[in-house]
Amino acid sequence: MEITLKPIGKVVNAVEKSSEKVDWSQVVSILEVNPELEEGLEGIEEFNRIMVIFWFHLAEETCLKVHPRGDKSKPLRGVFSTRAPVRPNRIGVTVVELLRREGNRLVVKGLDAYNGTPILDIKPYFPEGEGDERPPWVKGG
């Protein structure tokens, strides 16, 4: 069984793979969603945090065992118990702060993805016990 996906957009920011010592928590990125999908973003601006699902397009290999965070002083672990990009399906998931929406563009903070990264999906983030972040139409449900 094979599953085929098409990106819904791409990440635009100032971070390239060659960039050094990046503090991802401070990186501001634009999620540029394909214009024909803009309608699908309606209501997203009511959330403070969203979940970005993206494709690690620069990962070159697949490994079942990795050193956590690339630190070779740490013992090898199964890749599914880490967030390393070298996974069988190179899907990344990160919760980010949504600063604002400008039409088909979402300005977010804290996304750990390089410039040009394909975006696969965007979802609202509902942390348990943090009901205040949910807009009224969600709370009621």
Q: Return residues touching a copy of itself (CB under 8 A).
A: 1-8, 33, 37, 39-44, 46-47, 51, 53, 55, 64-65, 68-69, 71, 74-83, 87-89, 91, 93, 118, 120-124, 127, 137-138, 140-141
- Indicate the residue among 27 and 33 with the shorter CB distance to a copy of itself: 33
Q: Cβ 119 to a copy of itself, closest distance in Å?
A: 9
Q: Cβ 103 to a copy of itself, closest distance in Å?
A: 12
CB 31 within 8 Å of CB 121: no
- Indicate the residue among 19 and 62 with the shorter CB distance to a copy of itself: 62
CB 114 within 8 Å of CB 106: no
Q: Cβ 30 to a copy of itself, closest distance in Å?
A: 15
What is the DSSP code (8-state) at residue 75? P
Residue among 63, 109, 100 at smallest CA distance from 85: 63
d(C-alpha 141, C-alpha 138), whole Å:
5
d(C-alpha 89, C-alpha 73), whole Å:
26
Q: Cβ 18 to a copy of itself, closest distance in Å?
A: 22
